[in-house]
Amino acid sequence: MVIGHRFFGTTGTASAPFNGGRTTTHEVGHWLNLLHIWGDDDNGCNGSDLVEDTPNSGGPNFQTPTFPRLSCSNGPDGDMFVNYMDYTDDKSMFMFTRGQVARMDATLDSARSTFNGA
């Protein structure tokens, strides 16, 4: 995992639209065993992030989408572009799902257990 200084943190060289600290949140999500919400299948609508409560997306979302952003027959709510595991601007990201939190917890109890004292 490598994070460029222009996309890390909220001050200094961090620049909009990636100056809200969300790039780090996204990358730590990967470190804790989360996948992108579209399942990295090149816009095929067949991928999975292996988490039940995130709807599949046709691919990454960019900038600041408006609700709903539909793909992969995932209406009426559409893509969960507010999720940290998408590619939107920092101001659009604000959540992990309960399933993603459970997956990260499971990783902290297994592969990354040295980080939580387990």
Residue 14 banded pLDDT, cuts 50, 70, 90: confident
Q: What burial letters (b/e) apply to 15-48, b meaning 16+ CB within 10 Å?
A: eeebbbbbbbebbebeebbbbbbbbeeeeeeebe
Percent of the chain with pLDDT over 90: 72
Residue 39 banded pLDDT, cuts 50, 70, 90: very high
- Of residues 25 and 13, the one with the higher pLDDT is 25
**pLDDT for 109:** 94
**pLDDT for 2:** 65
Considering only CA atoms, which of 97, 92, 104 is closest in space to residue 20?
92
Question: What is the distance between the alpha carbons of residues 72 and 11, in angstroms, rounded to a whole number?
Answer: 37
Residues designated as active site: 27
As a whole number, the mean pLDDT across the chain is 91
pLDDT in tens, 52-93: 999 989 999 999 999 999 999 999 999 999 999 999 999 999
